[in-house]
Structure 1
Amino acid sequence: MDGDSEFQNLFKDNNEAKAPCNKVESLLKTNARRAPLTLQNFWKHIEWKNVIEAIIYYSLAIWGVSTTKLTRNSFIFSIIYYYLTGLAITAGYHRLWAHRSYNASLPLQYFFALLGAGASQHSIAWWASKHRAHHRYTDTDLDPYGAHTSLIWAHFGWLLIKAQYDAPVDRSDLMQNQVVRWQHKYYAPLLLIMSFGLPMAIAGYGWNDWRGGFVYPGVIRLLVLQHATFCVNSLAHYIGHHTFDDRHTPRDHFFTAFITGGEGYHNYHHQFPMDYRNGTKWYHYDLTKWAIYVSAKLGLASHLRKFPDNEIKKAQFAMDLKKLKKAQDGITWPPKYTELPVLTWEAFQEESMTRPLVLIAGFIHDVSLFIEEHPGGRSLLAGQIAKDATSSFFGGVYDHSNAAHNLLSNMRVGVLECGVEVISEKSLALSERLRILNVAERKALAT
């Protein structure tokens, strides 16, 4: 099949993507993404092309490492070529073509298309289509590499099993892009040239290391880069925090960002996919964001898209509130006053004869479990049983901390009738005096 025909076949269901509701519903109900695997039909579902390709790559890697010495120049070039081909995936395949988060000049597009072929992750058209399906159907059976299935499946398992269909997404912009069409048509020769031919030639002509150029900046670099990219589909959905949304698996984590060139702030990315950034803070490691920004300063990129800062803060604030609510639900709070029995002063006095009750600020407290642990000693608290200890608690004896107030509130067992405190004129005067005294006067009073 020639390139143009294959390209059209890849996008044969593009019209269906414009109105896919019925199809999507049907696919979700039938779980048609992959048929159940059994010993009888297992071999029929293997994606042999990808399996054979993987076997060749890993065999070459084992042979190369065991027979070829790694020179200093080849090592340095491997790292440089790794980051260049990696940026072609993150800044090109991903943020430019899959999400259209900025505009790139024609030279920059060809640069990404060439180096992207050197990453051996299929063509732009194929990669961007799968990734759009991943975003549109995250954590459902229409997600090509849904992390809800398993970590191994999301990492590389989905590449080894045939997909029964392509989930409907809009690919019209990709069909109209001349660079995408060109790369898709000539992807096979571009793959061989950029993945192996170019690094071998640079190492060979540069420092006479033809074999090392093929093994290290070629095969080894390619395999490491593939797994770094796969981590965006796997680790970025398993480790980290739900900063903006916890309804789906994507998470934010520095470690994933570091090994993927900045793609590890994945919760942010799934919430705001059109943003050219993944890390919004200056200290967030996002090599891809910086590369795009520099490209714009050089006139190679433009229209860098950002999600409104107010909406970003709003989403994070809503998530913070949700986390606080969850934390709040795990805390034991004092009973509401409407749930407590109302006792008269006489009833309070009578009940105090059977258990140690203390009246503070209109609430009746059972201190039986705390009286032996009272920091001021048992006798001090025992002396307040059946009495109104409001003034003592609020500074008459000791101005208790917030922790003491919280602990006390959990001891509430009743409310005094009418919600007023029954205290003597003497204690009332003392309480009012203590309320208006400043710190200096309290120290003077203490002495």
Structure 2
Amino acid sequence: MGQMPLHKRINWVSTIALVTTPILAVYSFFYVSLCWQTALWSVIYYFITGFGITAGYHRYWAHRSYDASYAYQLFMMFASSGAAEGSIKWWSRGHRTHHRYTDTDKDPYSTKKGLFHAHMMWMILKDTDSDGKLKGRVDMTDLNNDALVRFQHKYFLPLMLFMAFTFPTLVAGLGWGDWKGGFFWAGVTRLVFVHHATFCVNSLAHWLGEHTYDDRATPRDHFFTAIMTLGEGYHNFHHEFPNDFRNAIKFWQYDPTKWLIWVCSLVGLTYNLNTFPNNEIQKGRIQMQQKKIDALKAKLDWGPTDADLPKWDFDTFIKLVKEEGRRLIIIEGQIYDVEKFIDHHPGGRMFIKSAIGRDVTNAFNGGVYFHHNAARNLLQRLRVGVLKGEVPSQFVSKDE
């Protein structure tokens, strides 16, 4: 199916909201005074509505990473409505699509289409087929059968307008008489910050940071993104283990959403907190570490491989030493040419010269001196052959 014409793809409701609210927020900074009570309330309400998205929309409804009491669900439903990011059903549908089709054309906010597209352009231009249907298929049975989700979806517009603008204005107005500040600061400006914090999960978390557990997709882990998004910045972990209620697993990593869910579990508001088996988590981390090590190793000269080297029996080896004057030694079945190393041997020339034409495995491994990684790595580049067969006992060095 083709794509809808550009003029039909514009989502005018989202466009007006995403353009108007920042303009009003800028107006607030210059023309609306901010008292300390309203400032504090704005910050508190930012966290309430922000957690409504991260703990509610994201980790509870979209991923079902834990179970929750009805009271908790009700609170999160109202709190998340105040973030004005669409209904639970709409938001979760898009997010599940994002996880199933990450970085593909069916990913609604794929960073492959550009960082700005992932951040907010996907909400301005509808990404649908020519028949208007959303791309991708995901299972929404659980949310379609959820009465609270259906209620919020049906009455989302009045719920959103009340929780996003009216409620914070009422608190500031009735609480300390700051009606204008309540609307512009706790309502509009707070909403802009919540919006772009969430948007950073779709953009920044797919661009900044490390591929800690897998590098086959764009999600990344970074502390800065976690700070910006109430703990959603360990996004590589999340995409690998999406049904884990945590985004951060280290005690020092910033994930207040995880802490909130856990604290609520202590009083029975949340329960059955899902965690992915640590053994499997560590496998992913170690596999990525090994991949990075392998990439670094590939840049270094490790000398020739066995397949690249000739295979000599001892008679050939000793002939090269005695008749051609080659300065060759044998260590652990490998033949080394030490011609250029004799004058640089830390233990002096004598030991190297006495080893020429002999198997000095015992001496190398502790008989004379137990050599460490530096010596063994250096030897890799001096290899010229692989020994085939046995070494006569009289040519095998003994311990010192």
TM band (smaller chain): 0.7 to 0.9
Superposition deviation, residue 132 in structure 1: 0.8
Gaps of 5+ in 1: 1-29, 36-40, 435-447
CA deviation after TM superposition for structure 1 residue 315, in Å: 3.4
Structure-1 residue corresponding to 2:265: 296
**Aligned-residue offset at 1:78:** 1.3
Aligned to 2:373: 402
Asked if the contact 2:311/2:388 (under 8 Å) is kept, the reply is no
Q: Superposed, which structure 2 residues align to 1:96-115 within 5 Å?
A: 96-115=60-79
Instruction: Give 1:127-142 correspondences, 5 Å limit.
Output: 127-142=91-106
> Which TM-score applies when normalising by structure 1?
0.79
Task: Provide the C-alpha distance between the structure 2 equivalents of 1:96 and 1:382, rounded to a whole number of angstroms.
Answer: 69
The C-alpha deviation readout for 1:388-409, integer Å capped at 9, x for no partner, is 4837655677553321122012
Match of 1:87 in 2: 51
Q: Is the 8 A contact 2:21 2:188 kept in 1?
A: yes
Residue of 121, 126, 140 corresponding to 1:162: 126
Shift in Å at residue 308 of structure 1? 2.8
1:345–1:417: 8 Å Cα contact kept in structure 2?
no
Matches within 5 A, 1:127-206: 127-164=91-128, 165-166=133-134, 167-206=136-175
**Is the Cα–Cα contact under 8 Å of residues 338 and 382 in structure 2 kept in the other structure?**
yes
Distance 1:284 1:275 in 2: 15
- Is this contact kept in 2: 1:352–1:385, CA < 8 A? no
What's the counterpart of residue 252 of structure 1? 221
- Between the aligned partners of 2:283 and 2:335, the Cα distance in structure 1 is 42
The amino acid across from 2:154 in the alignment is K
Residue 212, structure 1, aligned to residue 176, structure 2: no
Of 211, 217, 223, the match for 1:242 = 211
User: 2: CA distance between counterparts of 1:415 and 1:175?
Assistant: 68
Distance 1:215 1:63 in 2: 9
Identity over the aligned pairs, expressed in percent? 45
How many Å separate the matches in 1 of 2:117 and 2:261?
A: 31
Q: Indicate how the Cα distance of structure 1 residues 400 and 321 shifts in structure 2: closer, same or farther if over 3 A, else same.
A: closer
Most deviating of 108-117 and 244-253: 244-253
CA gap of 1:349–1:146, structure 2 versus 1, over 3 A, is same
- The aligned amino acid for 1:352 is G
Deviations 1:364-386 (A, max 9, x none): 32335545544456x55884585
CA separation in 1, counterparts of 2:174 and 2:304?
80
Equivalents in 2 of 1:270, 1:385: separation in Å? 57
- Once the two structures are overlaid, the 10-residue window that deviates more, 315-324 or 188-197, is 315-324
| Secondary structure of the corresponding residue to residue 144 of structure 1 | coil
C-alpha RMSD over aligned residues: 2.7
CA 1:363–1:303: 2 relative to 1, 3 Å? closer
For 1:315 and 1:400, locate their aligned partners in 2 and report how far apart those are by CA, in whole Å: 34
| Kept after mapping to 2: 8 A contact 1:358/1:365 | yes
After TM superposition, the score normalised by the length of structure 2 is 0.87
Q: Which residue of 2 aligns with 1:9?
A: none
Aligned pair 1:351/2:324, yes or no?
A: yes
Residues 235-271 of structure 1 show CA distances to partners (whole Å, capped at 9, x for unaligned) of 1112222222222111222222222112122122112
In structure 2, the gaps of 5 or more residues are: none
Deviation at 1:170, TM superposition (A): 1.6
In 1: Cα distance, 2:74 partner to 2:386 partner: 77
8 Å CA contact retained: 1:243, 1:319: yes
Local SS of the residue matching 2:111? coil
Q: Which residue in 2 is equivalent to 1:413? A: 384
The residue type equivalent to 2:159 in the other structure is: L
Contact 1:65 1:215 (8 Å CA) reproduced: no
How many pairs align?
389
CA contact (8 A) 1:358 1:384 kept: no
Q: Could you say if the C-alpha distance between residues 46 and 363 of structure 1 is closer, same or farther in structure 2, counting changes exceeding 3 Å?
A: same
User: Which residue does 1:340 correspond to in 2?
Assistant: 310
Q: Distance in 1 between matches of 2:352 and 2:147?
A: 87
Question: CA 1:152 to 1:369, structure 2 compared with 1: closer, same or farther past 3 Å?
Answer: farther
State the Cα distance separating 1:57 from its structure 2 match. Answer: 0.7
CA contact (8 A) 1:124 1:180 kept: yes
Partner of 1:27: none
CA pair 419-329 structure 1, distance change in 2 beyond 3 A: farther
2:319 maps to a residue whose letter is E
Letter in 1 for 2:376: H
Q: What's the CA shift string for 1:147-194, capped at 9, x where partnerless? A: 222221111111111121322222222122121122122211222221
**Structure 1 segments of 4 or more deviating over 6 A?**
none
CA distance in 2, matches of 1:193, 1:50: 18
Amino acid in the other structure paired with 1:126: W
Once the two structures are TM-superposed, the CA of residue 93 in structure 1 deviates from its matched residue by 0.7
Contact 2:359 2:391 in 1 (8 A): no
CA distance in 2, matches of 1:384, 1:149: 67
Q: How does 1:42-121 map to 2 (within 5 A)?
A: 42-121=6-85
SS at match of 1:148: helix
Deviation for aligned residue 1:352: 2.5
Q: Which residue of 2 aligns with 1:366?
A: 337
Code of the residue aligned with 1:89 in structure 2: it is I
- The answer to whether the 8 A contact 1:98-1:128 is kept is yes
Structure 2: distance between partners of 1:301 and 1:194: 23
| 211-220 or 80-89, larger mean C-alpha shift | 211-220
Name the amino acid aligned to 1:193. F
